[in-house]
Structure 1
Amino acid sequence: MDAPSQAGSPVVPGRGTGSHEVTVRVPATSANLGPGYDCLGLCLDLWDEVSVSTLDGRGVEIDVTGEGEHTIARDESHLVIATIRRALADLGHPDPRCGLMLHAHNRIAQSRGLGSSAAAIVAGLALGWGIARPGQPLDRDWALAVATQIEGHPDNAAPAIFGGAQLSWLDGDSASAADVISHASGARESISVSAVHHVDLEIDPRIHPVVFVPQRRVPTSAARAVMPHSVPHDDAVRQVLSACLLVTSLSHHPEHLMAATQDWLHQPFRRDLMPESADLIDQLRACGVPAVISGAGSTVLALGTTDQLAGVAGADTRDFAVHQVGFGAGVQLHA
C-alpha cells in the first residue's frame, strides 16, 4: 500500500490481537489511458492484500512485505491506517482511535502510475467498513465519494472499487481538486455520494493490457506541476476526438486503438520527467502497439489485441519489468 515514505517503528508493539479481523484484496489501476485525463481508468489483475485486526487500547502495529517494505511508515501516518481512522469516524464507530494491527503484502509498484495511493485509500475504506459494519456488503458508492474526497479525483478510485473500465466525474464545481481534501493542508471539504459519478465501460474481450514498469519513480505532485494552464484550441479538439474514439475502441473497435490513445493534454509535458518511458512509448507506437503513460507515470501501459501486441518484440524493454496482467475486478472485502 502506498503511504508517506518515511520509515518508523510500531507505536505499541507486541500486543495480542482483538477478535475482529478484516481482510481485503485491492487492485492496481491505470488512469488516463492517453486522452482520458482525470476521468478514464481501468482495473488491472495485480493485487495488494491487507488485513487489519482491532487491538485493546491505542496505537498501531504494522507489518509490510513486498513493495515499499523498507520505506513505508510504521505509524499513524501510514495511508491505510489514516484512511481506516477516517472511515471509522465517518461511519460513526464508537472508538475510531482503537488499536490496530495491520498486515500488508504489496505487489503494486509505488509512485509508478499504477494507482498505489488509490489502492491504499480504497483498502483503508473497505477495512474501516468491515470493522464498523461487520457482515454488511461494502457501500461502494460511499467508498467512491470518500476516496474522491481524499484523492481529489475519482479516475483511479472508481476502477479500484468497481473493477473493469470506468468513466468517472464530479458534479459542477466539485470537479476541481481544490474543492476536495488536501493531504498537505488537512483541509476537509465534503463531497456527497450524489456528486461523484461513474459509468462501467465495456471492454472488448480481444483487448489485453501489458504494463512496463521502470525503476524511475515519478511523484504525482511532480507530474501535475509541469502541466500547463491552457493548451491550443486545435489540440483540445484533437483530444476530444481521441477520448470519444477511445471509449468505442475499448468496447467494440480495438482496431482504432492507435488513433484513440493519442494525447495532447498531458503526456507531451511530462516527457522530461520520465525519458525512458517516453522513449519506450515512441518505440512501441512505431511498432504499431497502442501505448500510453499509465496515470502520472512512469509505468507504460499497452492496450491491444494479440496481433497489435506482437509489436512489443520490436521495442527495447530491457530496463522495464514487463507484466501481462489482464483486467481485474474491484476491491474484495472479507470480514
Structure 2
Amino acid sequence: MASKRASSGLTFKATMAQVSVPASSANVGPGFDCFGIALELRDRYAAQVLDDPTFDVDVTGEGADEVKKDAKNLVIKAMMHGFEHMGGKPKGIALRALNVIPHGRGLGSSASAIVGGLTLARSLVLTGEQYMSDEDLITLATELEGHPDNVAAAFYGGATIAWLENSIDASGATKSIGKAVSLKVDDRIKALLLVPDNQLATAKARKLLPETISHQDAVLNSSRAALLVHALAQRPDLLFNATEDLLHQSYRASAMPKTIALMQKLRGAGLAAVVSGAGPSVMVLYANSEDEIDQIPSLAPGFTAMKLAIAKTGAQ
C-alpha cells in the first residue's frame, strides 16, 4: 500500500477512504439528549490526502447548494479535528460527498457529517485505530456536535444511550466527555418518517425549553425512558407507552405547530409517534401491519413520508 509520512510521524495512506453514515433520530420521545436510533438512510463520503495545500470539496445531493465547499465544510472540519487528535495534519484533502439525509429536519445530517469526517480521518492514517479508539471518536464527535445522542447512533447503529461524564485533563481543567453504549433493536421494529418542507434550527428549538419541570413530570419521563430500553430491545407492543414524553416536545409547539399537531393526532390513534430530534420531522415506530402504516401519509398533508428500516450498523 502506498503511503505518505507526515512530519509528525503519522503515516497517511495514499489510497482513497470511503464511508457511509446513517441518519439518526434523537430523543425518541422521553430520552431527551440521551437516546438515539439509527435509520437506514445514508450519506456517503470519500476522501483522499493531497500533497498540495488545498481542499478540493465536491458535494452532490441534499444541501449541495448550501454547504461549504472549502476548509469550513463540516466533514473537512471533523477530519482536521480527528487528524489533530492523532498528532498530525495532511497538507490537503480531496472530499466527495453524496448527501441524502434532509438538512435541518431533526434527522442527524450534521452528526453524519461529523462521524463521517472522523471515520475518514482515522481510515486515512496507517494503524489509525491506535491513535483514535471508538471511544475517542465519540468524544471528538461530541465536542463538535455539542451533545452525544445523534453522533452515537450514527457511529454505532441500532439504538444508543449516550451521556456526558466530567473528566479532568492534563492541565487540571474539567471537561465533559461524550460516552455511549449500543442497544440491539428488535428486528420487527421499523420507522416511518414524516418530513416537512420547512427546516428548524436546533438552537431555536432548545431556547423554548423551560428551566424546570414538575417532579411528577420528571417521574413520568424517567419511567418511560427506562421502559423504552425494554420496548426497543424486545417488546415493540410497549412502544406507544414507552415513547410518552412530558419533558420537551410540547414546549416546542410554537416553533412547529403542524409537527406537534400531527404527532398528537397520531398518538391519539394509538401510534408511537414522536418528534424526531429537535424537529420538525415526526417519526413513528411500529411493528404492526404495513396496511395501517400506509394510511398515515393521508393524515399528514405537507409532509413527505419515508419508510425506513432501523440501521443495524453505523458508520461503515
TM-score (norm 2): 0.88
Q: 1:141 aligns with which of 135, 140, 162?
A: 135
Question: Distance in 2 between the 1:308 and 1:199 partners?
Answer: 31
Indicate if the aligned counterparts of 1:288 and 1:308 stay in contact, CA closer than 8 A: no
CA deviation after TM superposition for structure 1 residue 81, in Å: 0.6
Cα distance in 1 between the residues matched to 2:294 and 2:29? 18
Counterpart in 2 of 1:274?
Answer: 256
Which position in structure 1 is the counterpart of 2:3? none
Separation in 2 of the partners of 1:292 and 1:170?
A: 24
Q: Which amino acid aligns with 1:132?
A: V
* Alpha-carbon RMSD: 2.3
- Map of 1:316 onto structure 2: 299
1:242 pairs, out of 224, 227, 237, with 224
Aligned to 1:225: 207
One-letter amino acid of the counterpart of residue 255, structure 2 = L
Aligned partners of 1:136, 1:151: CA distance in 2, in Å?
Answer: 21
Equivalent runs, 1:46-61 vs 2, <5 Å: 46-61=41-56
Question: Residues 76-155 of structure 1: matches in 2 within 5 Å?
Answer: 76-93=71-88, 96-133=89-126, 139-155=133-149
Give the corresponding residue for 1:24: 19
Amino acid at match of 2:280: S
Change (3 A) 1:280 1:84: same
**1:325 aligned counterpart, secondary structure:** strand
Matches within 5 A, 1:280-295: 280-295=262-277
Specify whether residues 309 and 236 from structure 1 end up closer, same or farther in structure 2 by C-alpha distance, changes over 3 A only: farther
SS at match of 1:273: coil
Shift of 1:120: 0.8
Shift of 1:260: 1.2
* Aligned-partner SS, 2:305: strand
Once residues 126 and 84 of structure 2 are traced to their aligned partners in structure 1, the CA distance between those partners, rounded to angstroms, is 12
2:70 counterpart residue number: 75
CA distance in 2, matches of 1:291, 1:309: 17
Secondary structure of residue in 1 paired with 2:258: helix
The 8 Å contact of residues 289 and 311 in structure 1, kept in 2 or not, is answered as no
2:254 match: secondary structure: helix
CA distance in 2, matches of 1:310, 1:101: 46
Aligned residue for 1:133, secondary structure, equals coil
Partner of 1:181 in structure 2?
A: none
1:164 maps to what in 2?
Answer: 158
**Aligned-residue offset at 1:248:** 1.3
Alignment partners' CA distance in 1, 2:181 and 2:122: 23
Superposition TM-score, scaled by structure 1 size: 0.83
CA deviation digits over 1:210-263, x for unaligned, max 9?
A: 111111101111111111111111111111111112111112222221111111
Q: How many Å apart are 1:152 and its aligned residue?
A: 2.1
Q: Is the 8 A contact 1:287 1:312 kept in 2?
A: no
Q: Which moved more, 1:53-62 or 1:38-47?
A: 53-62
- Moved segments of 4+, more than 4 Å: 134-138, 188-191
Helix, strand or coil at the partner of 2:197: coil
Q: What is residue 236 of structure 2 aligned with on the other side? A: 254
Q: CA deviation at 1:63?
A: 0.7
Q: Could you give the per-residue CA deviations for residues 172-206 of structure 1, whole angstroms, max 9, x where no partner exists?
A: 489xxxxxxxxxxxxx9855xxx543222232222
The answer (yes or no) to whether the contact 1:50–1:102 under 8 Å persists in 2 is yes
For 2:208 and 2:90, the matched residues in 1 are separated by: 38
User: Are 1:326 and 2:309 counterparts?
Assistant: yes
The whole-number CA distance in structure 2 between the counterparts of 1:311 and 1:330 is 26
* Structure 2 Cα separation of the partners of residues 148 and 135 of structure 1: 19
**Aligned-residue identity in percent:** 37
AA paired with 1:207? I
Deviates more, 1:77-86 or 1:246-255: 246-255
SS where residue 193 of structure 2 aligns?
strand
Equivalent-residue separation in structure 1 for 2:81 and 2:181 (angstroms):
26
Instruction: Decide whether the 8 Å contact of 1:149 with 1:189 is kept in 2.
Output: no
Q: How many residues align?
A: 298
Kept in 2: contact 1:284–1:311 (CA 8 A): no
> What is the deviation of 1:113?
0.6
Instruction: Give the partner amino acid of 2:40.
Output: D
Contact 1:31 1:42 in 2 (8 A): yes
Cα distance in 2 for partners of 1:203, 1:99 equals: 40
Deviation of 1:312 (Å): 5.6
